[in-house]
Amino acid sequence: MPVPEPERVAPTAVIRQTAKPIRLGSLLLPSRFLLAPLAGYTNLAFRLAVREIGGLGLATTDLVNARALLQMSRRTRELIRTCPVDRPLAVQIYGSEPAEMRAAAQWLEEYGVSAVDINMGCPVHKVTRGGGGSAMMCDARKTIELVRTVVEAVRLPVTVKMRLGWDDTSLSAPLFAKEFEQVGVAGVTIHGRTRAQGFGGRVNLEGIRAVAEAVERIPIIGNGDVRSIADAAQMLTATGCSAIAIGRGALLNPWLFSQLQSLEETGVPGPAASYEQRVNFMERHLLLLVEDRGERFGCLNFRKVANWYCRVLRPGRAIQQRLIRLESVREFQEVLDQLREPQMKRSWEERADTQPSIPVPKGPIEHW
Cis peptide bond N-terminal to 11, omega within 30: no
339: closest CA among 357, 363, 362, 322? Answer: 322
Contact 140, 172 (CB under 8 A): yes
* DSSP state at residue 73: -
* DSSP state at residue 274: P
- Which residues, 6 or more positions from 87, have their beta carbon under 8 angstroms from its beta carbon? 114
- Which residues, 6 or more positions from 193, have their beta carbon under 8 angstroms from its beta carbon? 163, 164, 199, 200, 201, 203, 204, 224
Q: How many CB atoms lie within 10 A of CB 67?
A: 18
Phi and psi, residue 331, nearest 5°: -65, -40
Phi and psi, residue 205, nearest 5°: -70, -35
- Which residues, 6 or more positions from 52, have their beta carbon under 8 angstroms from its beta carbon? 284
Q: Is 61 exposed, middle or buried (0-12, 13-18, 19+ CB in 10 A)?
A: buried
Torsion 54-57-62-67 (CA) sign? positive
Catalytic positions: 122
